[in-house]
Structure 1
Amino acid sequence: MTANPLDDPFYYLNNFQRVLAWLSQRYADVLSSEEQRFIEDFSALPRGSQGLLVRMVMRKGLRFRHGKLNYGEIGDIGSAVAPLLALGWVDEQAPLGLVELFEVLLKAEILSCLGHLIEQPKARKTEWLQALEGHFSQPQTFRDWCPQLEDRLYSLTVMPLCDRLRLLFFGNLYQDWSEFVLADLGIFTYETVEFSAESRGLRSRQDVDACLFLHDCQQRFEAGEALEEVVAQVNGLTLDNPWLERRRGKLLFQIGQHGERIGDFALALCIYRDCTYPGARLRMIRVLERIGEYALALELGETAAQAPQNAAEAQALFRIVPRLRRKLGGPPVPRSLAREVERLDLHLPRIDPTLSVEYHVQAHLHDDAAPVHYVENSLINSLFGLLCWPAIFAPLPGAFFHPFQRGPVDLLNEDFHERRAELFAACFAELDDGRYRQTILRRYAEKWGVQSPFVFWGALSGELLEQALDCLPPEHLRHWFLRLLLDIKANRAGMPDLIQFWPQRKAYRMIEVKGPGDRLQDNQLRWLEFCHEHQMPVAVCYVQWAEQGA
C-alpha cells in the first residue's frame, strides 16, 4: 500500500522542496541570481529552519508572533529562526506603523502597551486606532512599541521572492501551495501529462517580469487607480509571448468594460479599437451606437457581419445592424422569422419551493419507460471530454506547465482545435466505427474523478451514460462536439436543462425549461437553432405554477 504523503510531519516542506527541484531543473536559465542563491541557501539550512520558513510562507500575512509559532516537528522556534534571521529572510527589527501594530496585538496587549493614552478602555479596537493615530507618526520596532511584552515578532522578507517562484511553477498567482495538500488528500486528482522542454509558460526573465507587471496593473486597476495611467502602462509593455499577450488583451478588455460602466466611452473606444481579445469589436460597435455615432457603428457592424468572430457575434449583429440602419433613416429590414420550437405548457403545483422549476418538470415528466435527467451542460460536455481525452490532454508545447492543471492553458485560444486537428479527428473516427461507446465507458471508469475542463463527474452515473449512449445517435454527438470546438467558451454553456430517453426505441428529447417570467437567453437560442438545423429533437417547456388547492 502506498504511504500517504501527509503522514510525514514535514509534508509541506517536501512539497516546497519539490517545487524548488522542479524549478532548478526546468527554469535554471530563467531564474535570477537572487532566486538561484535562495534555492542554494535554503538547501543548506537545518531541517527545522527550512520547515519554519515554509510554514511562514504558506500562512497568511507577513508577521508572526514567536509565541504563536508552535510546531511539534520543528521543535524550538528560537533555534529554528536563528539561521533565517542571519540570512535576512526573517527580520526582528522591522518597523511597524500603528495600524500594523494593532494587527498583531490583542486588545489586552494594546491596553498593556498604550493604555495610558486610551480614554475609553471598553471601546473597540478600531475606535482606539482612530483616537491614537494622531499621537504617533513614526514607525517603531515591536520591541520599542511593547517593551513589557515577553514576545518577539518576526517579519517575513522573502515573500515577494517566494511569490515569483510560485508564479514560475504554476504560471499564475491564483494557485497556491494548498494545491499539493488537496492533491495529497485525494480531493483533487490531475491527469499525468508528459512535460517537454518547451512546456513552459514563462520562457525568459522578461516574461517573468512582464507577468508580474501585468498582475500589478490588474491589482492597481481593481484598486481604483486612474484608468488612463494603467492603460498606458499596459500598452507600453513589450511582449513576444502569445500567452502573455492574451493576458494583456483580457486585462484591457476588462478595463474597457469598466469604462463603459462608468460612462467613460472615450476610454472604452480607445481600448476596443486596438484590442484583439474576443468580443472587443462587438463592444466597440455597441459603444459607438450608445454615443450616437450610428454611421461609424454601422460601417464597422457591416464589416464584422461579413466575417463574424463567432456565433455570438453573428447573433448580436443580426439585431444591431438593422437597428442602426433604421436609426440612420434607412428602410425597415424585414426580419426572418425564428423557427418554431416544440412547446410544452405545464401548470404544476409547487410541491417544494426550495427545489428549482427544472426539478419540478423532471419529476412530472419522468417515467420508468421514459426517464428524465437534469443534465443542463453536463452531459454533452462530459461525453465530449471522455471521448476526446487524449486530444484535450495532449502534451503540446505551451499547453501544460505544471502537474496541477485541470486542462490545457490554450483551451480557449482560437487555434486550440487547429493545433490538435489530427488528434480530434482520430477521436471522432470512433463515432464512425462504433468504438466510441466502449471508449467513453472505459474512460469513465479509468479516469473517474480526474480534473477535466469538460467532465462533470458529480452529474454522471453509469445509468445515465448507458442510456445516453443507447439513445443519442453518433452523428448527433459529432455535431455537438464540433460545435463545442468552434467556440469552447461560448458553446459549452446554454444547452437544454433536461434530457428524456426512450431506451426501448432508442430515442431522446432535450427540454429547455422556463419558469414564470423567464426568457430564453442568447446562448440558449443559439443552441435551439443549432438543434433544429441538425434535426435534433428539442422542446421548450413553459411552466406556470398552479394554485394550491385549485
Structure 2
Amino acid sequence: MIAHSVDDPFYYLHNFRQVLLWVEQRYADLLDEHELAFIHTFSQLQAPAQALLVRMVMRKGELFRSDRLDYAEIGDTALALQPLRALGWVREPEQLALEQLFALLRKDELARCFTAQLSRPRATKHDLLAQLQPLQLAARSLADWFPDSEVRIFQWCLQPLCDRMRLLFFGNLYQDWSDFVLADLGLLRYEQVPFSPDSRALQQRADLDLAMALHYCTERLEQGDDPESILAVMHSLHSDNPWLARRRARLQFALGQQCERLGDWDQAMAVYAQCNHAQARIRQVRVLERSEQWPQAHALALQLAEAPANALEVQALERMLPRLARKLGGPPQRRRRAAPLELIELELPREQAALGVEEAVRQHLAHEGGQAHYVENTLFNSLFGLLCWEAIFAPVPGAFFNPFQAAPQDLHDSDFLLRRSALFEQCLGRLDDGSHRQAILDCYAAKLGLQSPFVFWAMLSEELLTQALACLPAAQLKQCFLRLLQDIRSNRTGMPDLIQFWPEQGRYRMVEVKGPGDRLQDNQLRWLQFCREHGLPVAVCHVRWSETP
C-alpha cells in the first residue's frame, strides 16, 4: 500500500481509497452485494464527488449544512453533490426533529425561525430550546421549519455501511476515519506482518454482523441505556469465534461496572460471574462488600486467595481480607510486612527543582559514579520488545487487520501469551543460553524506527542498550519479562524512574524517585515487591529541597 503525503490536497482521498481496496481484497467473501456495489461505484466517480463523500464520512454526524461543505480542493460543492444525490448516498432529509434543527442552525437563525414562539429571543441557544420543547413541535422539513433559510441541509445515508468498512479495516469502531485518512502515512513506519486468510479475525458474514451488534450494544451502554435491556439483547449474541468472545467479555465487564454504579448488586454479581475478564473475580468480592454481604465477601476472597489469577488480585486481596475480617468481628490483622527497601534521603538545592526531580537525582547520582539514566518504563519494555519482536508481531488470527498497526489488537487480552506460547518460549529461551544479547542487538539494527507497542526508540540509545546488556543478568531479565506477560496492561508501567550502571563491574541499581509529598502508586508498589522477591537491586529516593543557598 502506497503512502501519500499531506502535501497532496487529496491525500485523505487517496488514503480512503486504500481502505476500500484493502477491505475488498481481504474480505470480499464477507461483503454483501450492496457493499461491493458501493466500492465499485465509488471508484467510478469523479475525484470531486469522491472527495466530498470522504469529507462527510470523516465528520461527526450525518447531517450537514450546505455552507459548511465548502472545500478549496473540491471546488463547486453543488456539482460534486450531484452524483452523490443521484445515487441516493446523499439526500435532503424529509423531516428534522426540533433538536436536530437546533444542532444545525445558528442562534440568530433560530431566533428568526421561531420569532412568534419565543418569549425571550435573545436568550442562550440552550434556553431557546428549553422555551420550545414544551410545545412538542412535530418533526417537519427544513422548508416548513424555516421558509426563509438561506442554507440547505444534506444527509449522508450510508453511515452503517461505512461503519462496517471501518470495522473490517481497523478491527474496532473506536478509531475514527481521521486516524487513517488524515494521517501522513510517510511519517511512520510499520512492521510488515504477513496477512493470510487464516489470520483474519472475521471468517464469515455472521461474524461481521455479530461484531456490529456488539458495537451497537456498547453504544447503547455509553448513551445510558438500561443495562438489563442490553443484557437481554446480548443473550443471543454468542459465537465460537475467539475474537468476538473477547469483545463480548469486555462489554460484559463494562455492563457489570454500570450495574455497580446503579447499585444493582444482584445483576452486577450475575454479570461478573459469567464474565472471564481479568478483573471480574475481584469485582465480585467488591460487590458483596459494597452490598454489606460480609460473610459471602470474606468467603469468596479466601477462595480467590488460594489461587490468585494475577498480581493485581494479590494486591487487592491483601487489602480486602483484613478489612472483611474486621467487619465480621475478628481481631485486627497485621498486614504482611514487606522486606525493607534501600532508602536514599537526598536534600538538593531548591534551584535544581527546575530540572524536575528525576533529572536532579539523575545528575546527583551521576556525580557519585556510574552511568545514570532516566528510563522509567522505557528500558525493560524496550528490551522485551526487541527480544520478543517475532512473537509480538506474529500473524495470529485477529491480531492484525491492516498494514498500519503499531501493535496487535489482542495485546491486552488475557490469552495474549497463550496464543503465542511457543514463540514466546523460543524468544525467552535465548535468555537461558546467552544468545539474547546478539538477538536484541540484531533486532535493534533491523527494526530501528518501526512502530512497536514496547520499544521506545527515542529513549533507547546505543550507549544505553550496550550498558544494559552488559549489566543486567539474563535470569533477572527473564523474570521481568515473564511478569510483564502475566498482565501487560497493568505491568508495563510502574517501573523505577532511574537506572545506574557500573559496566566495569557488571552491576546496576534501579532507583524510584519521589519528590516532596509524592507517594508510591499501586503499580509501583507491585514492581518494588517483585524486585524484592527476585533480588533485583532497587532503592527508593526521597527528595527534599534545601532552602539555604
Question: Which sits farther off after the overlay, 73-82 or 238-247?
Answer: 73-82
Aligned twin of 2:467: 467
The DSSP-based 3-state class of the residue aligned with 2:424 is helix
Contact 1:374 1:498 in 2 (8 A): yes
Which runs of structure 2 are paired with 1:371-382 in the superposition (5 Å)?
371-382=371-382
Conserved 8 A contact 2:3-2:186: no
Q: 1:253-402 counterparts in 2 under 5 A?
A: 253-321=253-321, 324-325=324-325, 327-328=327-328, 336-351=336-351, 356-367=356-367, 369-402=369-402
1-structure distance, mates of 2:108, 2:523:
58
- SS of alignment partner, residue 80 of structure 2: helix
Counterpart-to-counterpart distance in 2, 1:145 and 1:212:
35
Which whole-Å CA distance do the structure 1 matches of 2:17 and 2:533 have between them? Answer: 55
What is the rounded CA distance, in whole Å, between the counterparts of 2:183 and 2:100 in structure 1?
35
Q: Which residue of 2 aligns with 1:100?
A: 100
Equivalent residue, structure 1, for 2:43: 43
CA distance in 2, matches of 1:368, 1:9: 56
> 1:238 corresponds to which residue?
238
Paired residues of 1:322 and 1:332 also in contact (CA < 8 A): yes
Q: In 2, distance between residues paired with 1:136 and 1:279?
A: 46
What is the deviation of 1:509? 0.5
| TM superposition shift of 1:381 | 0.5
CA drift at 1:277: 0.9
Give the aligned partner of residue 70 of structure 1: 70
Contact 1:494–1:523 (CA under 8 A) maintained in structure 2: yes
CA offsets, 1:386-405, max 9 Å, x none?
Answer: 22111110112222122232
Structure 1 residue 53 corresponds to structure 2 residue 62: no
Deviation of 1:173 after TM superposition, in Å, equals: 0.7
Q: Structure 1 residues 117 and 225 mapped into 2: Cα distance closer, same or farther (>3 Å)?
A: closer
Retained in 2: the 8 A contact 1:285–1:297?
yes
Over the matched positions of the two proteins, sequence identity in percent amounts to 54
Would you say 1:142 and 2:142 are equivalent positions?
yes
Q: 1:237 to 1:361 in 2, by over 3 A?
A: same
Distance in 2 between the 1:289 and 1:99 partners?
A: 43
Please provide the CA RMSD for this pair: 3.0
Partner of 1:549: 548
Within 2, Cα distance between the matches of 1:332 and 1:102? 60
The residue that corresponds to 2:129 in the other structure is 129
Q: Letter of the 2:520 partner, please give it.
A: L
Give yes or no for the alignment of 1:437 onto 2:437: yes
Deviation at 1:89, TM superposition (A): 1.0
Structure 1 residue runs of 5 or longer lacking an equivalent are none
Post-superposition Cα deviations, 1:94-132, rounded to whole Å, max 9, x if no partner, equal 322333233333344445544565565644333333334
Relative to 1, partners in 2 of residues 1:289 and 1:139: Cα closer, same or farther, differing over 3 Å?
closer
Q: Contact conserved, 1:90 with 1:157, CA < 8 A, in 2?
A: yes
Structure 1 distance, partners of 2:124, 2:336, is: 66
The reply on whether 1:86 has 2:86 as its aligned counterpart is: yes
SS at match of 1:539: strand
SS in 1 for 2:198: coil
- In 1, the alpha carbon distance for the partners of 2:351 and 2:395 equals 50
Which deviates further from its counterpart, 536-545 or 260-269?
260-269
* Aligned partner letter, 2:78: G
**Does residue 216 of the first structure (1) align with residue 220 of the second (2)?**
no
Checking the alignment, whether the CA contact within 8 Å between 1:297 and 1:324 is kept in structure 2 is: yes
1:400/1:409 contact within 8 Å kept: yes
Aligned equivalents of 2:380, 2:319: Cα separation in 1: 29
- For 1:226, the equivalent position in structure 2 comes to 226
> Per the alignment, do residues 362 and 415 of structure 1 end up closer, same or farther by CA in structure 2, a change over 3 Å counting?
same
Separation in 2 of the partners of 1:334 and 1:5? 62
Question: Helix, strand or coil for the counterpart of 1:172?
Answer: coil
Q: CA deviation at 1:259?
A: 3.3
Q: CA separation of 1:549/1:509 partners in 2, compared to 1, >3 Å: closer, same or farther?
A: same
Q: Kindly indicate whether the alpha-carbon contact (under 8 Å) linking 1:498 and 1:511 is maintained by their aligned counterparts in 2.
A: yes
SS in 2 for 1:366: helix
Q: Per-residue deviation at 1:332?
A: 7.2
Distance 1:150 1:24 in 2: 41
Q: Which residue of 2 aligns with 1:180?
A: 180
Contact 1:179–1:404 under 8 Å retained in 2: no
Q: Which residue of 1 aligns with 2:488?
A: 488
Give TM-score, length-normalised by structure 2. 0.89
- Rate the CA distance shift 1:202–1:266 in 2: closer, same or farther, 3 A: same
Is 344-353 or 475-484 further displaced after alignment? 344-353
Deviates more, 1:533-542 or 1:292-301: 292-301
Segment of structure 1 superposing worse, 354-363 or 274-283: 354-363
> Residue by residue, what CA displacement relative to the aligned partner does 1:42-71 show, whole Å, maximum 9, x if unpaired?
233333322221221122332233333333
Question: Aligned residues, how many?
Answer: 548
Aligned residues of 1:350 and 1:360 also touching (Cα < 8 A): no
**Quick check: 1:171–1:202 contact (8 Å CA) kept in 2?**
no
How far did residue 172 of structure 1 move? 0.7
Task: Give the deviation of 1:195 after TM superposition.
Answer: 0.7
Distance of 1:260 and 1:142 partners within structure 2:
43
Name the SS of the counterpart of 1:512 in structure 2.
strand
Cα 1:273–1:103 shift into 2, 3 Å: closer
State whether structure 2 residue 538 is matched by structure 1 residue 538.
yes
Q: TM-score, normalised by structure 1?
A: 0.89
* 1:494 counterpart letter in structure 2: G
Partner residue, 1:419 = 419
Q: Provide the C-alpha distance between the structure 1 equivalents of 2:3 and 2:331, rounded to a whole number of angstroms.
A: 76
Q: Secondary structure at the match of 2:363?
A: helix
Shift of 1:185: 4.5
Q: Distance in 1 between matches of 2:9 and 2:348?
A: 57
Compared CA separation, residues 109 and 380, structure 1 to 2 (3 A): same
Partners of 1:182 and 1:188 within 8 A in 2: no
Secondary structure in structure 2 of the residue aligned to 1:373: strand
Between the aligned partners of 1:267 and 1:487, the Cα distance in structure 2 is: 27
Deviation of 1:166 after TM superposition, in Å, equals 0.8
Cα distance between partner residues in 2 of 1:140 and 1:326: 64
Distance verdict in 2 for CA 1:3–1:307, change over 3 Å: closer
Give 2:11's aligned residue: 11
Distance 2:517 2:75 in 1: 64
Matches within 5 A, 1:138-177: 138-177=138-177
Partner SS state of residue 270, structure 2 = helix
Question: For structure 1, which segment, 525-534 or 144-153, has the greater mean C-alpha deviation from structure 2 after superposition?
Answer: 144-153
Higher mean C-alpha displacement, 453-462 vs 327-336: 327-336
Residues 196 and 397 in structure 1, CA contact (< 8 A), matched pair in contact too? no
- The CA distance in 2 between the partners of 1:7 and 1:360, in whole Å, is 42
Alignment deviations for residues 473-532 of structure 1 (CA, whole Å, 9 cap, x no partner): 223222211221222222212211211122332321111223344443443233223222
Q: 1:398 to 1:108 in 2, by over 3 A?
A: closer
Contact 2:191 2:406 in 1 (8 A): yes
- Mean alpha-carbon deviation: is it higher for 86-95 or for 40-49? 40-49
Q: Which runs of 5+ in 2 are unaligned?
A: none
- The more displaced of 120-129 and 276-285 is 120-129
